[in-house]
Amino acid sequence: MFAYGLVEIKFKDKKLDISFEPWTHKQSRLSCDSSDSEVLPQVREEIQMKEGLLRPLVELPESSRRDLLNKLREVVEDGEALTLLEETLHQPNTGASARPPPAAVSSFLDLLDVSGVSSAARDAVHLLVSAMDNLPEGMPPLLTSCDPETMRVLRQLVDALQQDGRATLPESPPAPLQEDGGLRWVADLLCSTEQTLAELSDAWNRPAPVLLEVLALSVLGLSLMQPRA
């Protein structure tokens, strides 16, 4: 569903170190060849369009959402397992694989089956998994395990991004979103302007808007999976 070249992100001496592989993005109209200098409206359009596909997640009983989220946390501890889960959800009827899937993947799929989810909800799960599978390495575990308050603020940033493209952090954000927090770069990206997106794309030699899209979709999907207060 997504093919994205950002494959690794590391912190070295508090600096962001990013490596890439050849990039293609099959579904989004955003592309590295875009000549449009204003990409935020395109990003917002993509997010708004796909947000509707995530909405069926709220139809799941709270217990099912909680259990699936817990299983997803187990899956994302192994990056290869997350990719295998995405591939299995993409082609669910391929039959038995040459080697058994990791226990976390099997457990997640079994839970999805016994939950009796609708096809729309299963597609929503697939979209969430696909978006997360295209995040930088190490980010899915941080996002799936962040506390409810941090997720609430991230969701607010995504909502603001969709509304007018002017997301800003609150004056006193949760610890993970503060200057030295593990998710601060996530908040900074969600608060990007046209200029900062262009600067990031130039620095990475890859389109930062696509990373912004999959990040926003991951936040939206995970926030829908959270227990209701």
Question: What string of H, E and C letters represents the secondary structure of 165-196?
Answer: CCCCCCCCCCHHHCCCCCCHHHHHHHCCCHHH
Query: Chain-wide mean pLDDT for the chain?
Result: 80
Q: What are residue 16's DSSP bridge partners?
A: 11
- The per-residue pLDDT for 97 is 53
pLDDT above 90 as % of the chain? 48
**In angstroms, rounded to a whole number, what is the distance separating the alpha carbons of residues 216 and 210?**
10
Q: Residue 82 — very low, low, confident or very high, per pLDDT cuts 50/70/90? A: very high
Q: Per residue in 170-209, pLDDT tens?
A: 989 999 999 999 999 899 899 988 888 888 778 766 678 8
Token pair for 212: 């912004």
Q: Residue 169 — very low, low, confident or very high, per pLDDT cuts 50/70/90? A: very high
Helix (H, G, I), strand (E, B) or coil at 228: coil
pLDDT of residue 134 exceeding 50, the answer is yes
Token pair for 104: 């976390």
- The per-residue pLDDT for 203 is 75
Q: Per residue in 83-121, pLDDT tens?
A: 999 999 988 665 445 556 788 999 999 999 888 889 999
Mean pLDDT of 143-172: 92
| DSSP conformation class of 116 | T
Mean pLDDT of 133-159: 93
- The per-residue pLDDT for 159 is 95
- Report the Cα–Cα distance between both ends of the chain, in Å, rounded: 32
- The per-residue pLDDT for 116 is 83
pLDDT of residue 52 exceeding 90, the answer is yes
| pTM of the full structure | 0.81
Residue-range domain boundaries for the chain: 6-225
Q: How many helices (H) and strands (E) does the chain have?
A: 10, 2
Burial of 33 (0-12, 13-18, 19+ CB in 10 A): exposed
| Of 108, 190, 110, 107, residue with least CA distance to 143 | 190
pLDDT of residue 36 exceeding 50, the answer is no
pLDDT above 70 as % of the chain? 78
